[in-house]
Structure 1
């Protein structure tokens, strides 16, 4: 028997959700957590040309979805290894971005390359180090990559962007 769900406010909650009509199981639909890093090697920034959709062929920072059982810094380091075959040292949290339309919360860290080795991973066509003035800004994959690059150049503590749709001021 396939369970039937209806949208209603479960007991003890304030938000309408999908609830199983038979057993009361609540199917929560919560945001996904994305983790990544602005990785420096001296003055240069590590970037990956995507080999997957969305934005195939465009440049991004090593980033992706956090897996169950890992901390955000562990996830950011794993993503750098998967996308750029790079071992990185995670530093401070750089920014927290909310992308409402995609249901994402993005945690972006400052990081450095642990050594000079990197290569395209399975999701990347190419990986390169760019001086800040050489970054191909017209080929950037996502707005949050632009925001993170701008914030990484700032001094100070972590930046939190409470809204989506507008780039935060650098």
Structure 2
């Protein structure tokens, strides 16, 4: 993963092991990835995408993915909705922020609605469709955080949701 001149060390002033260059002392910090996405609602239904890629190919999820360098979190959420669901959105504020420690992610999920009619499966989706609450295929939801976000949306709270108390660090997995 790192060139041969990097080795695990605890740098001065630090409290954990980092990869440090033995020649110049450069510290290669490894930080969580940021994931952005949206719960897109229309007429009391939510838009879900069936994944065409791994991990969890064939399972349903929210349109979401990694934030790119140079993007704001809002721009990233809009881009992900376009890439996965060919949907143009209007964001209505942050719904939830989740910390998934076991995989090093921070997820920022927005409340959203279609800005203009139409949606279709993008290259990372097998299909895309709106589900009424009672029709959501819960046993086929790809990720715990997608379940959490759908639940937060259904509760209609104007407050930002966080990890559920039983999985405060996002370590429970699938």
Q: Which range, TM-score by smaller chain?
A: over 0.9
Q: Return the alpha-carbon distance in structure 1 between the equivalents of residues 19 and 129 of structure 2.
A: 45
Gaps of 5+ in 1: none
- Tell me the C-alpha RMSD between the 2 structures: 1.5
> Following the alignment from structure 2 to structure 1, what is the Cα–Cα distance between the partners of residues 34 and 82?
18
Contact 1:3–1:21 under 8 Å retained in 2 = no
Q: Quick one: distance in 1 between partners of 2:120 and 2:96?
A: 26
Cross-structure match for 2:127: 126
Which residue does the alignment assign to 1:150? 151
Alignment coverage as a number of residue pairs: 166
Residues in 2 aligned to 1:85 and 1:145: alpha-carbon distance in whole angstroms: 19
**What is the CA distance between 1:89 and its match in structure 2?**
0.7
Retained in 2: the 8 A contact 1:97–1:105? yes
Task: Please report the TM-score for the alignment, with normalisation by the length of structure 1.
Answer: 0.92
1:4-153 to 2 correspondences below 5 Å: 4-153=5-154
Mean Cα deviation higher: 158-167 or 63-72: 158-167
Q: 1:164 aligns with which of 164, 167, 170?
A: 170
Stretches of structure 2 that go unaligned for 5 or more consecutive residues are none
Q: TM-score normalised to the size of structure 2?
A: 0.90
Query: Does structure 2 conserve the Cα–Cα contact (< 8 Å) formed by 1:5 and 1:20?
Result: yes
1:83, 1:123 within 8 Å by CA — same for their partners in 2? Answer: yes
